[in-house]
Chains A and B, each alone.
Chain A
C-alpha cells in the first residue's frame, strides 16, 4: 500500500468515526432532553 493510499484510508476512517460519535452523542442528548422536557411538562 502506498503512503498516499494509507493517508486516504486514515482520513476516511477518521471522517466515519466523526459521523459515528456525533450520531451517538446526538441520540443521547436528544433522548435525555426530550425525556427531561416531557417530565417537566407533565
Chain B
C-alpha cells in the first residue's frame, strides 16, 4: 500500500499539464495554514481547562517549534521520498494532531493537546510546508517565484478560511464554545485529512529532464547565474550565501511579525477613536495583504530577480517603517496603507525565499535547504514580538502612552531592515568551485532515489 506513495509511482507523463500541480500544493498549505487561526480556540480552551492564557499559548508555541525542527531536519527525507509520501504523512500527522487534541479536550488532559496539536500537528506542519516546494520549482523552472508564491500564499490563506469556519463550528456544535471544542477538532481533523489526501494523491513529479514547452534553457537570473544542478543541503549549509539569505529572511520576518503580532493594540494606541472591533477588522486587512503579497511579489521576482525583489522588501520596507514612526499618526488611511504594504512585503519574503535558494543552490535539494532556512522564521517569531513588547513595556514604565509606546520600536525595525538590506547586498552567486567541491555533483546524483 505504501509503495503507492513512492516517488516512482508519482512520475507524470511528459505531456502532463503542469497547471494540475498547484492545487495539490494549495490543498496542503491551505490546510496547515489553520495554525495561524489557532487564537480562535484560545478563550474557549482557557474556559474548558480553567487555566491561564499562557498555558494554552504553549500549545501554539510547541506547534511552531516542531514546524521549524521538522522542516529543518525532515527536508532530506522529503527530497528523498518525494512529495506524495511527504504530503501523505503530513496529512496523517496534522489530522492526528486534531484527533489526539480532541481526546485531550474531552478527557480534560491538557498534556494531550500539547502532544496532539503541538507535537504531532507541528510535525505535519513542517513536513507539509516544505513538501511541494521543490516539486513546484521543477514543474515551473521558468517561473519559480510564481509557483512557490501560489503554494505559500495558501499558508497565509489557510487562516482566512479557518478563522470564520472555526468560529461558526464553535457556535453551532455545542451549547457553549468551550463545549464545542472537541467536536470542532474532530470536524477540522477529518476535513483537513480528506483535502490533504486529495492533494497527496494528485501531486505528480515531472519526468527526469523534463522542461516546459518553449523553454530552451534555464533563464539566468539578472543577479547571477543559477547553479546548474544543485548542491547537497550540507554543502549549502556551510556557504556564506546560505547564511546571508538566512539573515535576510530573519530580518524581514522579525520586522513584519512584530507589527502583525501587535497590530490590534498598536492601531488603537495610534488612533484613540479606533475600538477593538475596528482593530479586529484591521488585523483581517493585514492578513489579506500578507496573503496577496505572497503571490504578487514572489511572481514579480521572476522578472525583477530575487536580489532586487528583496532590495524592495528591505529598502522600501525600511523607509515605510520610518514614515510610520514620523508621520503615522497623521491619518488612519495612511497608517493602514503603509502597514498593509509592509505586511505584503513580509508575506512576499516567505514565498520568494525558495526561488532565491533555487537560484543560488540549484533545484535538486531546494526543499531540504528551504527547510533549514525556516529556522530563521522560528527565531524571528521570538525576536520580533519581543522587541516590540519589551520596548513598549519600558516606555509604559516611563509614563509614556499612545504612539510613543511604539515609535522607538519602529526605529529599531528600520535598523533591522538595514541589516537585512546589507546582507542581501552581499549575496553573490555560488562560485563554480563550490558546486564541484569534494565531488558534490556526484553526491547530488546519488541523492536521487
Task: List A residues at the B interface (Cβ < 8 Å).
Answer: 3, 7, 10-11, 13-18, 20-21, 24-25, 27-29, 31-33, 35-40, 42
Contact = CB atoms under 8 A, between A and B. Distances in A.
Contact of B161 (A13, A25, A36): A25
B349 interface: no
- Interface majority SS on A: helix, strand, loop or mixed? helix
A29 B24 CA distance: 20
A20 B204 contact: no
Nearest to A14: B20
Contacts of B27: 17, 20-21
Contacts of B162: 28
Interface string B159-185: 111111000000000000000000000
B28 to A, nearest CB: 10
Interface of B: 13, 17, 20-21, 23-24, 26-27, 30, 154, 157-164, 195, 198-199, 201-202, 204, 277-278, 280-282, 284-285, 287-288, 291
- Interface majority SS on B: helix, strand, loop or mixed? helix
A10 B202 contact: yes
B202 A21 contact: no
19 contacts: A3-B13, A10-B20, A10-B204, A14-B24, A17-B23, A18-B20, A21-B23, A21-B26, A27-B161, A28-B161, A29-B291, A32-B163, A33-B288, A36-B284, A39-B277, A39-B280, A39-B281, A40-B281, A42-B277
B23 A32 contact: no
Given A20-B195, A39-B277, A28 B202 contact: no
A36 B282 contact: yes
Given A13-B198, A24-B161, A25-B161, A32 B288 contact: yes
A32 to B, nearest CB: 4
